[in-house]
Amino acid sequence: MGDGERIISHGIDVNTPSVARMYDWYLGGTDNYVADRRACRELLEVVPNTQALARNNRAFLRRVVRVLAAEYGVRQFLDHGSGLPTQDNVHQVAQAVDPSSRVVYIDNDPIVLAHGRTLLDANDETAVIQADMTDTKAIFGHEDVRRLIRLDEPVAALFVSVAHCIPDEDDPAAMFRRVVDILPSGSFMVVCQLVSDRADIRDHVTEFMREATGNTWGRVREAHDVHAYLEGLEIMPPGLVEVSEWRPDAQPRFEQSDEWQEFGGLARIP
Ligand SMILES: C[S@@+](CC[C@H](N)C(=O)[O-])C[C@H]1O[C@@H](n2cnc3c(N)ncnc32)[C@H](O)[C@@H]1O
């Protein structure tokens, strides 16, 4: 794909970096274009730990879904900001525990819908929908969510590495509250987002990502913001942590420095 390429199909603009395709590149995927890769390399100059951080985040997603399915008995998952299909997708991890587990993937990037539908063609328990994750009403009203997700048994709502994509004016805290209010007691919220103790990193990366993605990005925040999102819920062990510290297993962890982190964990709705 040359630098001069513009629009391809399905409304996909290959010249503006997309968060989903940048994340795919950091994970070693091939569903990305020149503009995505260029933005990824530029970001690595500011925050060199980003690739390790993305891989550790993906491993956290695998572990938390497995724990939810195997230890907490969850059989339905709503994966907000699911990203492009890669290895160990949520339905694969959950259905390895129980093949009847149901998963709805939600993303606003059309490339996720196109690739996701191909992957899920033959899986009746799984769907991928294109929606803005802040549009809770549209998500819970969507026919695939109504078909696959029952609100009389626990649901896990996943928001893994996505809250930083939501600007303050779209109120990520209110988005979490809306979902908590809809889900039945005993359901779970999985939330992590990019945080940094360093104001220079928070400001620089936020500005870089907003400019790179055509203003479709939110903000690097601080750990206390994640605590605030989950206030009133029962935080499950080991608490809210840098995600590679969340119940590590035998799989290798990627060495990462601490310019910024994915910070969060698992919470139960009382
Ligand atoms: C960093 S990726 C995380 C992917 C996956 N959750 C994971 O942790 O492996 C962020 C994803 O959120 C999606 N996203 C960003 N803003 C969104 C929004 N407002 N509504 C739905 N999806 C969004 C992006 O397209 C991207 O696929």
- Interval 209-247: pLDDT, tens: 999 998 889 999 999 999 999 999 999 999 999 999 999
Domain 49-197+217-268 has CATH 3.40.50.300: no
Q: Is 11 left (phi over 0), alpha (psi -120 to 50) or beta?
A: left
Is the CB–ligand 1 distance for residue 89 below 6 Å? no
Calpha distance 220→20 (Å, rounded): 17
Determine what percent of the chain is predicted with pLDDT higher than 90: 84
Which residue ranges make up each domain of the chain? 49-197+217-268
- Interval 39-63: pLDDT, tens: 999 999 999 999 999 999 999 999 9
Q: Choose one of 165, 179, 243 to mutate for the ligand 1 pocket test, by most ligand atoms within 8 angstroms of C-beta.
A: 165
Whole-prediction pTM: 0.95
Q: What is the pLDDT of residue 123?
A: 84
Residue 130 has pLDDT above 80, yes or no: yes
Is the CB–ligand 1 distance for residue 108 below 6 Å? yes
Of the candidates 191, 195, 157, the one whose C-alpha atom is nearest the C-alpha of residue 76 is 157
Calpha distance 87→112 (Å, rounded): 14
Calpha distance 208→234 (Å, rounded): 35
- Interval 132-154: pLDDT, tens: 999 999 999 999 999 999 999 99
Calpha distance 205→188 (Å, rounded): 30
Residue 12 has pLDDT above 90, yes or no: no
Is the CB–ligand 1 distance for residue 156 below 6 Å? no
Q: Choose one of 18, 19, 40 to mutate for the ligand 1 pocket test, by most ligand atoms within 8 angstroms of C-beta.
A: 19
What does pLDDT average to over the chain? 93
Of the candidates 188, 172, 191, 168, the one whose C-alpha atom is nearest the C-alpha of residue 180 is 188
